[in-house]
Amino acid sequence: MKEEIRNYLRASFPVPLEDAELAEIVDAFGVSFRSAADELRAMPPSDFGGIRRVTHAIKGFAANVGVDALSSAAAALNASAHAEDSAACALGIRDIVAMYDAFAAEP
């Protein structure tokens, strides 16, 4: 996912970004993603309002750096929270937390 972000940013800016700038953006994304994943990890799947709030943020920050799979997963979880489907929310939370764990394990 980190390389996906760097590639998206390289392609999105008319002026090439320095490696240090790319690293700062990836790190800032990681801080936001960790915070959201930690919130979801601690949240019961029946906290529909909390899930909607957190997934709204995830959709935004993931889309801003071109991580479409995460943005889509957050949108799906958000829809499950709107439908008040706690079983689907539990699965969606598991998926997003797993995505964070994979991101955090990347070099």
Give pLDDT tens digits for 57-74: 999 999 999 999 999 999
Extents of the domains making up the chain? 2-105
Contact indicator for 33, 58 with CB cutoff of 8 Å: yes
Q: Which CATH superfamily is domain 2-105 in?
A: HPT domain (1.20.120.160)
Return the exposure string of 68-104: e unless at least 16 CB atoms fall within 10 Å of the residue's CB, then b. Answer: eebbebbbbbbebbeeebbebbeebbebbeebbeebe
Full-model pTM: 0.94
Give tens-digit pLDDT for 8-21.
Answer: 999 999 899 999 99
